[in-house]
Amino acid sequence: MTHQVTLTQFIIEQQRGLPDASGTFTLLLNNIVTACKQISHRVNCGALIGVLGSAESENIQGEVQKKLDIITNDIMVKALDWSGSLGGMASEEINDPIKIPKQYPKGKYLVLFDPLDGSSNIDINLTVGTIFSILRCREGVEPETEDFLRKGTEQVCAGFVLYGPSTMLVLTTGNGVNAFTLDQDVGEFILTHCNMKIPEESSEFAINMSNQRFWEPPVKRYIDECVAGVDGPRGKDFNMRWVASLVAEVYRILTRGGVFLYPHDLRDPSKPGKLRLMYEANPMAFIIEQAGGLCSTGRERILDLKPSSIHQRVPLILGSKSEVERIVGYHQQD
């Protein structure tokens, strides 16, 4: 039988070569994983334990919350606040940064998370997930909002967990991208996909076509060329995909290539984008770039953006390097 590498073994082996490794990061990641296993269980049980449907409340973005949005947020907070690894947390579901209770020591990391990405799909049994990002923190102090407002290049780790036909963790610490599959029998994440690389060539794109009347000309030009297929300027046929779950879209791109677009549109000029920089765009950009792809707003590299607020929204275009470069080029020509 082939030796199976668990997530804990994988992280410890990576940390051994670092002179200042103390085990704190490994503990933090294990606590995140523990929370995600609990979330996986709740998602898998669904209607059996009464967690589906609307909670009839709104989050800070004014979006209607599902019951599982609230449940999964509580799971993440309770799994992380006691460990001594964190100086603070921030959640897509909560207005302000989350403080560590006074009875617990403060650590040298900050965690930002979307506890249940794609939750609009939960009631129709499609793939959802958890996204997280880890930053360093001034140790032993009470972090302020400004401590969280860091460029994506300052992330020390990013990952997401897919709750689908299998539960998978996709992770980067800045040394490539690896994926782990949860063995439900033993309760461990096992390394199953080593050094993932986005295929350079692909014929798939993902975008919400119902918004096309609001698109800027560069996006419209790109999609029109894809739709024109073999008879158009690209000279080949493309397939469109749209799951409305960022974790599912990104995992498909990691395995099959292609491009995902949730671009800036002209519907409301006061809103620069739909997706959150800190909880979605930054961690996904870190992962995509580590796998050989690119991630942009169309005009700027996502990881170079200096956040203005913890709930800032941005346009998001990510995927195979050649396709993102083409879209960015169209924006530069506009």
The domain ranges of the chain are: 7-195, 204-332
Q: Is 309 one of the annotated binding-site residues?
A: no
Q: Is 151 one of the annotated binding-site residues?
A: no
pTM: 0.93
Q: Is 274 one of the annotated binding-site residues?
A: yes
Q: Where residue 125 falls among pLDDT bands split at 50, 70, 90?
A: confident
Question: Alpha-carbon distance 106 to 27, whole Å?
Answer: 14
Measure the CA angle with vertex 84, ends 310 and 281; round to 5°. 25
pLDDT tens-digit readout, 273-290: 999 999 999 999 999 999
Name, in order, each residue with C-beta under 8 angstroms of 320's C-beta and a sequence gap of 6 or more. Answer: 198, 199, 200, 201, 202, 253, 257, 258, 259, 293
**Per-residue tokens: 319:** 């995927």
Tell which residue, 107, 168, 99, has the closest CA to residue 139.
107
Q: Is 59 one of the annotated binding-site residues?
A: no
Mutual angle of helices 24-45 and 7-15, in 10-degree steps = 160
In the predicted structure, residue 128 carries a pLDDT above the cut 80:
yes
Element (H, E) at 222: helix 217-228
pLDDT at 118: 86
In the predicted structure, residue 139 carries a pLDDT above the cut 80:
no
In the predicted structure, residue 56 carries a pLDDT above the cut 70:
no
Average pLDDT of the chain?
A: 91
In the predicted structure, residue 62 carries a pLDDT above the cut 60:
no
Q: Where residue 59 falls among pLDDT bands split at 50, 70, 90?
A: low
CATH topology for 204-332 is D-Maltodextrin-Binding Protein; domain 2 (3.40.190)
pLDDT at 153: 98
Which amino acid, residue 100? I
pLDDT tens-digit readout, 188-206: 999 999 999 999 888 999 9
Which amino acid, residue 99? K
State whether CATH 3.40.50.720 applies to domain 7-195.
no
pLDDT at 1: 47
Q: 268, exposed or middle or buried, with CB in 10 Å at 0-12, 13-18, 19+?
A: exposed
Q: Is 120 one of the annotated binding-site residues?
A: yes
pLDDT at 51: 63
**Per-residue tokens: 236:** 């080949």
pLDDT at 69: 86
Q: Is 289 one of the annotated binding-site residues?
A: no
pLDDT at 187: 92
pLDDT tens-digit readout, 292-308: 999 999 999 999 999 99
pLDDT tens-digit readout, 211-263: 999 999 999 999 999 999 999 999 999 999 999 999 999 999 999 999 999 99
Provide mean pLDDT across the span 128-135. Answer: 97
Q: Is 220 one of the annotated binding-site residues?
A: no
Q: Is 236 one of the annotated binding-site residues?
A: no
Question: Alpha-carbon distance 14 to 23, whole Å?
Answer: 11
Provide mean pLDDT across the span 141-151. Answer: 93
Question: Alpha-carbon distance 278 to 60, whole Å?
Answer: 14
Q: Where residue 95 falls among pLDDT bands split at 50, 70, 90?
A: very high
Q: Is 88 one of the annotated binding-site residues?
A: no
Name, in order, each residue with C-beta under 8 angstroms of 102's C-beta and a sequence gap of 6 or more. Answer: none
Q: Is 300 one of the annotated binding-site residues?
A: no
